[in-house]
Amino acid sequence: MNREGSEAAFAAAKRVIPGGVNSTVRAFKAVGGTPVFIRKAKGAYLTDVDGNRYLDYVLSWGPMIAGHAHPDVVDALRGAAERGTSYGTPTEYETELAELIVAAVPSVEKVRFCSSGTEATANAVRLARGFTGRDKFVKFEGCYHGSADPFLIAAGSSALTMGVPNSKGVPAGTARDTIIVPFNDAAAVRAAFERNPGEIAAVIVEPYVGNMGLVLPVPGFLHALRALTRDNGALLIFDEVMTGFRVAYGGVQAREGVLPDLTTLGKVIGGGLPVGAFGGSAEIMDRLTPDGDVFQAGTLSGNPIAMAAGLATLRLLSDATYVHLERLAMRLIDGMAEVFARRGVPHSTVAAGSMAGFFFADGPVTDLAGAKRADTALYGRFFHAMLDRGVYFAPSQFETAFLSLAHTQAEIDRTVAAADDALSEVLACR
């Protein structure tokens, strides 16, 4: 495919934008080459500045569950924009979307909107600290909770060592309050509580991890987190920014029957516009200002355009939606697994709701150490071979594929056939 337009666009972007991108993964550093610059999108497809068309499994990293430019969402956006794009005052949109979320997400009685997933998780941790009067919190290796300082911490010399910053600009004092443990290791969480009695405010977790590739909890893990936090006076925070309204209408907690104290949301609830939210019981949420003593604010929080897009999107979804999407996801993953097995490539595949993932590594993958066994060089070559065949997967082995209501069985089957052809080419060139 000719991508001269993307190459020129990237060169221009690098002159005025650090690295040429406004979110690091877009730069294609993990797979090599030049990022594709998109001009428009419709349904399940992206079209780049050179006119090349791609079947999209990134879907803006999750929000576009209805597909791109769904007529109902576009109509809602148009109507909202005609009434004004921002007021700095409360609107009925916010209450309507909050009512849908409270009705859908089992643990949420009240919800506060913000403008990004990073804001949601940072505010949730602040609220947990304010509610418990404690400073430390536990996070898991490989779980991503946005780019706020407390979350940019890597494990130290052991799983229970206080974290050290893995980004310049993160103060050492911030790192000291973050405890890192391996995902799916309840014993490590128990040990963290034993070593820090009465000091841990919360445990935050992606209940289905989507940011080291798709990694699911082993049986009993989420229940163990619920018991450990309750027994030790800490709060359990489910980061469902990605999984909320993605794997089930009520998120992972609805699928798994484990209710956290706080839940963070984003992506789907904004229908593709910048949005975040966090919610929980009235007792906890009422600690927020203006009525409580934990400060939170945001100039564009509850923006009417984002609220309108979120309302239109959620109204397209039902329990039947997720049955349909999970069938598509399983069809994709089962087909890819057959291709990988036939070609003799070590692999691990998984799907949940409208999310799907595969690693070029022997499975199952249950934590970051397992994910890091993946053959990232092979993934990079496979990614570009699929791109040349008009299929757009995430430009990193450690991300997740998403399905939308616009994807069809025929397109899934075409993707599997393209994967067979692409892998054949890649392996022949080794």
Q: Please list the active-site residues.
A: 144, 239, 267
What are the E-state strand segments in 34-166?
38-42, 45-48, 53-56, 110-114, 136-140, 153-154, 164-165
Angstrom distance (rounded) from CA 254 to CA 107:
9
Q: How far apart are CA 300 and CA 253, in angstroms?
A: 28
Alpha carbon distance 235, 225 (integer Å): 10
Contact at 8 Å (CB) between 120 and 265?
Answer: yes
Q: Hunting for tokens 């484990």 — which residue is that?
A: 258
110-113-114 Cα angle (round to 5): 150
Cα-based distances in Å from 346 to 155, 215, 335, 364, 368 = 27, 17, 15, 11, 17
Phi first, then psi, for residue 229 (nearest 5°) are -65, -45
DSSP 8-class letter at 34: P
Q: How many CA atoms lie within 13 A of 377 on its CB side?
A: 3
d(CA 430, CA 409): 32
**DSSP state, residue 215:** B
Q: Which helix (H) or strand (E) holds 330?
A: helix 319-342
37, two tokens: 């610059």
* Dihedral angle, C-alpha 67, 50, 411, 29, nearest 10 °: -80
Pairing of strands 110-114, 276-280: antiparallel
Give dist(CA 241, CA 257) in Å, integer.
Answer: 18
